[in-house]
Amino acid sequence: MIDQRLLPARLEVAAFADYRQVARAIREMVVRGAPAIGAAAAFGMALAARQSAAQEVDALRADLQEAASRLVQARPTAVNLSWAVQRILRLAADYQGSADGLRQAVLAAAQRIADEDVAINKRMAAHGAALIEDGDTIIHHCNTGALATVDWGTALGVIRTAHEQGKRIHVLVDETRPRLQGARLTAWELSQYGIPYDIISDNAAGYFLRTGQVQKVFFGADRVAANGDVANKIGTYMLALAAHDNGVPAYAVVPTSTVDLSLASGEEIPIEERDPAEVLNLQRDGAPIAPAGASARNPAFDVTPARLVTAIVTENGVVYPPYLPNLKKVVSNE
């Protein structure tokens, strides 16, 4: 995996030899972004199968279950993680054959998850790019590009596709505090693609929306409830509120694997709270921004109510309200 903690200063690839290391890489955000986490967890399961000493299928299933528990606990909000792990566990439960055969089947399933993610991204990008017009200025929150997926990206993949179609677009990149995924990662990706951009502080978004300088808002999601509520990187809710107040459409771009129909609303989505040090350790001119002994709260995500989301772009098409029936249709691909 690309170690995303080091960008943009250094581009380094990290290797992981067992599922415990993969779980730690997910928890410590070496890898981040819901689709990328899902694929990483699937390969973590393949490592668990490979390294298990089990000679019988039932014993191997037990080892896979243990690995699944550790991987799922690494980041509780992103549903793709549990989705990928449960897909592997279902395969194992249904498998008939030898333990070595199951090991190969798990590896093949992990590779399918990765390959499917790339194809899904490309389909989402085509649907979403149709929403972007020549000359648009777009606010983008967090990082949703190739770094956050297996390849291409979700919301940033839409923007990249519009650019490759020849549309003249400009991106305002939210810094995305406290881990600055926008300033560090999205800006780096846009530079690779040659897409014009400016980094803005998160709390500047309202200014640009209110003054008519923005035509679209795009962001991804780590989980979408059945009613269309969207859990995404902290700050998305405030951005969507400002967009709604100024009549600017706000689009979530998500694979259907991110839609959790088992949850009635966003109130049921678990919100990860991370180490306060991520907030307190920020520095300015080499000095800490916070006084010694300060405390902090650090929720990693917030929930944007469905009423603030103009549409949800998926690989099976663009979903508009009412979300409850329409998300069911798109997930089942009716």
Phi, psi of 309 (to 5 degrees): -100, 115
Q: Is 275 a catalytic residue?
A: no
Nearest of 177, 167, 268 to residue 227 by alpha carbon:
268
Q: Which of 151, 174, 222, 302 is catalytic?
A: 222
Contact criterion met (CB below 8 Å) for 95 and 105: yes
Task: Give the whole-angstrom CA distance, residue 182 versus residue 185.
Answer: 6
Phi, psi of 91 (to 5 degrees): -60, -45
Whats the size of the chain, residue-wise?
334
Q: Is 195 in a helix, a strand, or coil?
A: coil
Task: Give the whole-angstrom CA distance, residue 251 versus residue 193.
Answer: 22
**Consecutive H or E run containing 260:** strand 259-260
For residue 174, give both structure tokens: 């939210």
Contact criterion met (CB below 8 Å) for 280 and 294: yes
DSSP state string for 157-185: HHHHHHHHTT---EEEEE--TTTTHIIII
Q: Could you say which DSSP state residue 30 is in?
A: S
Q: Is 130 exposed, middle or buried (0-12, 13-18, 19+ CB in 10 A)?
A: middle
Residues serving a catalytic function are 222
